[in-house]
Amino acid sequence: MSARLRAATRADLPRVEHLLVDAGLITAGVAEHIEQFILAEDNGHVVGSAGLERYGAQALLRSVAVAPQYRNHGLGRTLVRRVLDGALRDQVREVYLFTISAPEYFRLLGFKPIGRDDVADSVRASQEYGECCSGAQAMVLRLRKPSGWEDVDDPSG
């Protein structure tokens, strides 16, 4: 299994939405931000995704998903790293996310749990902040490469 990474285009939207639905993730807001997604593709199939919604110096990491047969090989970590590297180049200083199923995974990548009231006002404009993720754990990463970034063990993708 060898997937290549590439930037998403509008034409990828149906395949990305399918991957997200299969992973139990929401698709609200994906269409508006699809061009800020990085995809993993193998044999013409989208097998992984990670997206970013930018709000000035803050951003929301979203839609991190890896097809089941591609998990546990570091693909999720690679997708997240690529998105975060791009955010850092674009001078994003804080990246937020909302997760129900993977808070420990994102802790391993340097994200810290926070209260929903601590999410930057700019990020609250995201559809993910609203009702669709009201029960999710909010997390934040202040952008600078965490020590040991390359050594993080990737249990889920």
Sketch out the chain's domains with CATH numbers: 4-150 (3.40.630.30)
Helices (H) and strands (E) in the chain, counts: 4, 7
**Is a pLDDT exceeding 50 seen at residue 26?**
yes
What's the DSSP call for residue 3?
A: -
156: exposed, middle or buried (C-beta count within 10 Å: 0-12, 13-18, 19+)? middle
- pLDDT for position 131: 66
Instruction: Give percent of the chain above pLDDT 90.
Output: 83
CB-based contact 61:80 (threshold 8 Å): yes
- pLDDT for position 1: 62
d(CA 148, CA 107): 13
Confidence grade of residue 156 (pLDDT, cut at 50, 70, 90): very low
pLDDT in tens, 93-146: 999 999 998 999 999 999 999 999 999 999 998 988 876 677 899 999 999 754
What's the DSSP call for residue 132?
A: G
Element (H, E) at 15: helix 13-22
CB-based contact 40:66 (threshold 8 Å): yes
What is the pTM (predicted TM-score) of this model? Answer: 0.87
Give me the residue label for tokens 């034409």: 11
User: Tokens representing 61?
Assistant: 């990491």
User: Tokens representing 96?
Assistant: 């937020």
